[in-house]
Amino acid sequence: MTSEIVSRIWEGRIPVRIGLSARDSQQGLAPSVFYCGTLRRNGYIHVVLPLLLRFFAPFVEDSSALKRDDWWLEFEDVPVKWNWPIGVSFDVMTGFDPSNAEPEPQAWELTLHHKDYPAEYIVPILTPPPSVRNQFLEDYWINQMKEACFILTGSAKPIMNLSRANSANFWKSVENRKFPRDH
């Protein structure tokens, strides 16, 4: 039973329909171009952002903006936090209750933006060089795991006692979506 629950959580997906903001697109293209697919509930926006930028690259007005990290998503004029798991953002922002017997939700309608980053609502991601950015994202995520561990158990020691190598592997499993099937 436990392995089935863990597997369902790991494989959970949310249907999305993402459009490029009219302010960031070549004139007239934004309303008609959408990325339609699914995002993993336990994934993070900053992990799927490169995929979205590759998809929207032909339609972005300023191609130099594609190299920046200040892209962000919004839902109904509310910025989506990149540092929360996608499923948490979806549930909080839409009011979706997975325990309810209601049918699966329609695609989550999001808008991708570049201009006017809402730093007062979303923690800014550092801009390149990538080595600094990647270390920032890893450190930020590990700190979130420490906080979650403390809330659940009263101590952050299980996370704090990880070796640097194990800590890096923990982060890589999130980035690369690797789940040990043998446990």
pLDDT in tens, 138-169: 777 778 788 877 777 888 888 888 888 888 78
Which of the four pLDDT bands, split at 50, 70 and 90, describes residue 82?
A: confident
> Per CATH, is 2-123 categorized as 1.10.10.10?
no
The pLDDT of residue 73: 93
CA distance 17 to 3: 31
- Name, in order, each residue with C-beta under 8 angstroms of 126's C-beta and a sequence gap of 6 or more: 69, 132, 133, 136
- Name, in order, each residue with C-beta under 8 angstroms of 57's C-beta and a sequence gap of 6 or more: 63, 66
For residue 154, what is the DSSP state? S
53 by Cβ neighbours in 10 Å (0-12 / 13-18 / 19+) ranks as middle
> Per CATH, is 126-183 categorized as 1.25.40?
no
Question: Is residue 11 predicted with pLDDT exceeding 70?
Answer: yes
**168: its two tokens:** 């890096």
Question: Is residue 64 predicted with pLDDT exceeding 70?
Answer: yes
Residue bearing tokens 């007062």: 120
**50: its two tokens:** 């490169």
In the chain, residues under CATH classification 1.10.246 are 126-183
Which of the four pLDDT bands, split at 50, 70 and 90, describes residue 38?
A: very high
The pLDDT of residue 131: 57
Contact 60, 26 (CB under 8 A): yes
The pLDDT of residue 55: 92
Write out the DSSP string of 38-67: EEETT--HHHHHHHHHHHHGGGBS-GGGGG
Top mean-pLDDT range of 18-22, 98-102, 129-133: 18-22
Percent of the chain with pLDDT strictly greater than 70 = 79
94 vs 97, which has greater pLDDT?
94
Question: Is residue 86 predicted with pLDDT exceeding 80?
Answer: yes
Does residue 105 have a cis bond before it (omega within 30 degrees)? no
Which of the four pLDDT bands, split at 50, 70 and 90, describes residue 36?
A: very high
Q: What is the mean pLDDT of residues 101-110?
A: 77
In the chain, residues under CATH classification 3.10.20.620 are 2-123
Q: What is the mean pLDDT of residues 34-53?
A: 88
